[in-house]
Homo-oligomer: A and B are copies of this chain.
Amino acid sequence: MKMSAKDLAAFLNAKIDGDPDVEVSHPSKIEEAMPGSVSFLGNPKYEAFAYTTKASILVVAEDFKPQQEVTATLLRVPNVYQSLGTLLSHFERNGKPFGISSLASIDPTAVLKDKVAISAFTIIEKNCKIGSGTVIYGNVYIGHDVEIGENVTLFPGVKIYAGCSIGNDVTIHANTVIGSDGFGFVMENGKFKKIPQLGNVVIEENVDIGSNCSVDRATMGSTIIRKGCKLDNLIQVAHNVEIGENTVIASQVGIAGSAKIGARCMIGGQVGITGHIYIPDGTQIQAQSGVMSVKEQANQKLFGSPAIGYNEYLRSYAIFKNLPDLENRIRKIEKSVEENKHNV
């Protein structure tokens, strides 16, 4: 999909400065751009790249005054970052499915609203409801009695077990599993017996979930991810967990059963959070920390395993790194004290 500078100028409401017929097929970073791409200069710090970039088109601020020759055609706009957003969305290569594939398996009791798209080899079970504008890629499984809102995107291989509920404007990436059984067993006569997992998962609106995540259904009631949450890849959310609004979770985090995470938390990669804990609003947890307990106080910063205060951990770790020195100092003192004793 090629566009000329003239087309792009009309699209972005920009003034052209240079060849209006040069064509581009994709966006690029100013310092890595090749001919045939459009780049942008948003931060004056990077002005030098404007004179060396190989981009065919460069989006710049209205009042940009080149100090040297620029080979790219310039598109002058009032707000470079806003235009960048518009441009990127335009070029986005998502190749979304369109319409209902004849190769999907859709139960006749399922209710699909208008503009729903479902691709090949996807299974929709009994009594599902799917809101308008929702796009479901191939090899997806939607168990019975699942409710999916409007403008949801489910990428290939997503599996949603029976009875779960997905809000409007949710995006879930490939091979993520929603609603697998919570991990609950009781030992009886030397054998583990499974505790039936009868709850579901509720994902509220505007949530994004990455690829290869596992979100388990509740034993009873619901595992809940509240609106605006953002989850990266390979994350474990156990049964009966509740995650507060707009909390951000980096990849490979594990949250154990019945933990309640507050709103606006920031959880770093590979963090582990123990079960039945309450993490207050606005808590920031450094990557790889293991949270076993936490004070009831908003906006803490945690680090370590078990996690303590972030600065506290770093101060202790600074000394940890020099423990051999510390021991030497103690050895010296011991010797000195011993001598003193003799002297005395």
Whether a CB of chain B sits under 8 angstroms from the CB of A123 is yes
Given contacts A93-B163, A162-B95, contact A214 B212 (CB under 8 A): yes
B250 pairs with A256, CB closer than 8 A: yes
What is the bound-complex CA distance between A233 and B178, given in angstroms? 12
Whether a CB of chain B sits under 8 angstroms from the CB of A49 is no
Using an 8 Å CB-CB cutoff, how does the interface string of A302-344 with B read, 1 for contact, 0 for none? Answer: 0001101000100111011111101101100110110011011
Which of B105, B196, B228, B306 is A191 in contact with, Cβ under 8 Å? B228
B287 pairs with A290, CB closer than 8 A: yes
Query: How many of chain A's residues have a CB under 8 angstroms from any CB in B?
Result: 108
A337 pairs with B333, CB closer than 8 A: yes
B145 pairs with A141, CB closer than 8 A: no
Given contacts A126-B95, A252-B252, A269-B254, contact A212 B330 (CB under 8 A): no
Given contacts A139-B139, A269-B254, A340-B340, contact A173 B162 (CB under 8 A): no
Q: Is the interface of A mostly helix, strand, loop or mixed?
A: loop
What is the bound-complex CA distance between A329 and B331, given in angstroms? 9
Whether a CB of chain B sits under 8 angstroms from the CB of A270 is yes
B177 pairs with A211, CB closer than 8 A: yes
Which of B119, B143, B316 is A321 in contact with, Cβ under 8 Å? B316
What are 30 inter-chain pairs, A to B, with CB distance below 8 A? A27-B198, A28-B220, A93-B144, A93-B145, A95-B126, A95-B162, A121-B121, A138-B141, A139-B157, A174-B180, A185-B230, A185-B248, A191-B246, A192-B206, A192-B208, A211-B214, A212-B212, A216-B233, A250-B256, A252-B254, A254-B269, A316-B322, A319-B324, A319-B326, A326-B327, A333-B333, A333-B337, A336-B337, A340-B341, A340-B344
